[in-house]
Amino acid sequence: MMIPLVVGCEDLWDDKFSQSSDYEVSAISQENDAYGPVISVNPTVLSFGTLAVEEEVHETFFTVMSVGDKALEVESIRIEATDPSFTILSDIDGLDLDPGESVEIGVSFSPMTAGDHVGHAIVNSNAVGDEEEAVQVELLGSGYVPL
């Protein structure tokens, strides 16, 4: 009988099945076996905290990584938000990442109004999958009016 074992669960195998000769282990890799360009972003949520309206700017980063077996072409990164509080700081024109390569993308938050702000960094690329679906990083921040 073939029992699949996910890499990282060796302790389960040792505890449950190592005493029996009726089982054979077939390791299932956790690595991405996709063919073609594949994109990974980390983190998928950037939280900027609470900043004073029009007085403070906070910068942070997310990483775009090519995890497929072909070069990843990042076509564009844009912000979708109800106001201009979030800004992409990195120049990505002509950004090509070979398999295993990554780049940090800078994003700033400078609240224009008091209250909660939500936006998305939309990353368009040649990644394998639905051409209409882009990778998104959620952007969260809040503004207050200093006294």
**For the chain, which residues make up each domain, given as ranges?**
1-30, 39-144
Q: In CATH terms, is domain 39-144 a member of 3.10.450.40?
A: no
With a pLDDT cut of 90, the percent of the chain lying above it is: 59
pTM score, two decimals? 0.73
With a pLDDT cut of 70, the percent of the chain lying above it is: 74
Q: Could you tell me if 36 and 128 are in contact, meaning their C-beta atoms sit under 8 angstroms apart?
A: yes
Distance (Å) of CA 99 to CA 49, 93, 113, 125: 34, 19, 41, 14
Q: Could you tell me if 120 and 81 are in contact, meaning their C-beta atoms sit under 8 angstroms apart?
A: yes
More confident residue, 139 or 94: 139
In a 13 Å sphere around the CA of 2, the CA atoms on its Cβ side amount to 5
**Segment 86-102, tens digit of pLDDT:** 999 988 877 999 999 99
Distance CA 108, CA 85 (A): 8
**Segment 99-124, tens digit of pLDDT:** 999 999 999 999 999 999 999 999 99
